[in-house]
């Protein structure tokens, strides 16, 4: 389907509660373990989502609206959360994500974007010309890619425990698809 | 990590709230669409999870405890939810799943399983000998495989809307892994 601002906002508004329901108060064996060297735990993923709210989505949306193609987005630092999450608990990161997401969605709604705004273009440092509509759709799909990742990371912890059933459990055969 | 009954119950107990937070009251464009012919929507997946609670996990656990390897599990009907979900709303299916999961986890806890119980063996119609421990670990990973699937199905709806960003969104390159 085509991008629809109302549907995007709806999906984005569900993610904090989803992560909260899935992860808060789970044993750390589920949330702090990763898939091996140089991979993320669910804790790391939530830190990454916090960082995205701060530096990626709405700052880029404003840059498109204010400067169009004349300014290139700041590259997104996919490892910033290692520093920013240090010393925090998962509960703190979930709280931060919830309050940042609510704040950013309020900002988005306050822009009262019309379809001509959504067609406005900006410049991505690697991808070149992108539209505001594509940026907002990507914000929503980015949530889904990380929910997909978290479910895979958690399943991975039981990859041996399931015994012969691993043949039926697609999530155990999921590569990271380079995401 | 090895199977741990407490961790399994913890993960299983989080899933109804997770699906509720993710799916309830989302526009039907997210929840009723699938990935193409002969694939499931998120609505179908929740129906499948309801059916699993009724026929798969705890009935098989009891069969292992009562009959060991002498009786083969009933094959799991992966398409039963098409009939059972007919005419229901997603909200109804989420309610059913929540109440069934709570009931089944109460039954599981009431069994007071010890490690010698978890090592007991049963007979799967295709996989052969499996243990109760493997069955319970699979119940938890089965939740994750379907959360993985739902996040993929929803991302799929915006596969064109994200434009050039699709290159960065691993969930859009995820095959179903035969699950």
Report pLDDT digits (tens) over A37-47. 999 999 999 99
Taking the C-alpha atoms of residue B121 and residue B63, their distance in angstroms, rounded to an integer, is 10
- When the pLDDT of each residue in chain B is averaged and rounded to a whole number, the result is 94
**Which among B11, B24, B161 is the top mutation candidate for probing chain A, defined by the most A β-carbons within 10 Å of its own β-carbon?**
B161
Which chain B residues contact residue A23 at CB under 8 A?
A: 14
By three-state DSSP, how is residue B171 classified? Answer: helix
| Shortest Cα–Cα distance, A46 to chain B (Å) | 15
Which chain A residues contact residue B130 at CB under 8 A?
A: 163-165
Taking the C-alpha atoms of residue A77 and residue A74, their distance in angstroms, rounded to an integer, is 9
Do the Cβ atoms of A114 and A101 come closer than 8 Å?
Answer: no
pLDDT for the residue numbered A121: 98
Which chain A residues contact residue B151 at CB under 8 A?
A: 144-145, 147-148, 151
Q: Give me A26's structure tokens.
A: 């789970």
Ranges of chain A whose pLDDT falls below 70: 177-179
pTM, whole model, 2 decimals? Answer: 0.96
**Which among A155, A156, A172, A176 is the top mutation candidate for probing chain B, defined by the most B β-carbons within 10 Å of its own β-carbon?**
A155
Ranges of chain B whose pLDDT falls below 70: 177-179
Nearest to A64 by CA among A5, A111, A126: A111
- Is B163 within 8 Å of A128 when comparing Cβ atoms? no
Dihedral angle computed from the Cα positions of residues B89, B90, B91 and B94, in that order, rounded to the nearest 10 degrees: 130
């Amino acid at each position: 389907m085509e991008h629809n601002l109302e549907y995007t906002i709806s999906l984005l508004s569900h993610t904090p509660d989803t992560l909260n329901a899935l992860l808060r108060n789970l044993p750390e064996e589920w949330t702090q373990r990763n898939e091996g060297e140089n991979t993320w735990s669910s804790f790391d993923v939530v830190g990454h989502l916090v960082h995205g709210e701060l530096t990626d989505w709405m700052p880029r949306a404003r840059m498109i609206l204010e400067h169009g193609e004349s300014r290139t987005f700041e590259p997104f630092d996919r490892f910033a959360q290692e520093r920013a999450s240090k010393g925090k608990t998962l509960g703190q990161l979930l709280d931060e994500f919830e309050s940042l997401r609510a704040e950013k969605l309020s900002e988005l709604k306050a822009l009262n974007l019309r379809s001509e705004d959504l067609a406005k273009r900006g410049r991505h440092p690697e991808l070149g010309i992108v539209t505001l509509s594509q940026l907002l759709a990507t914000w929503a799909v980015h949530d889904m890619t990380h929910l997909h990742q978290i479910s895979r990371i958690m399943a991975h912890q039981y990859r041996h425990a399931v015994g012969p059933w691993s043949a039926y459990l697609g999530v155990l055969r999921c590569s990271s698809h380079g995401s």
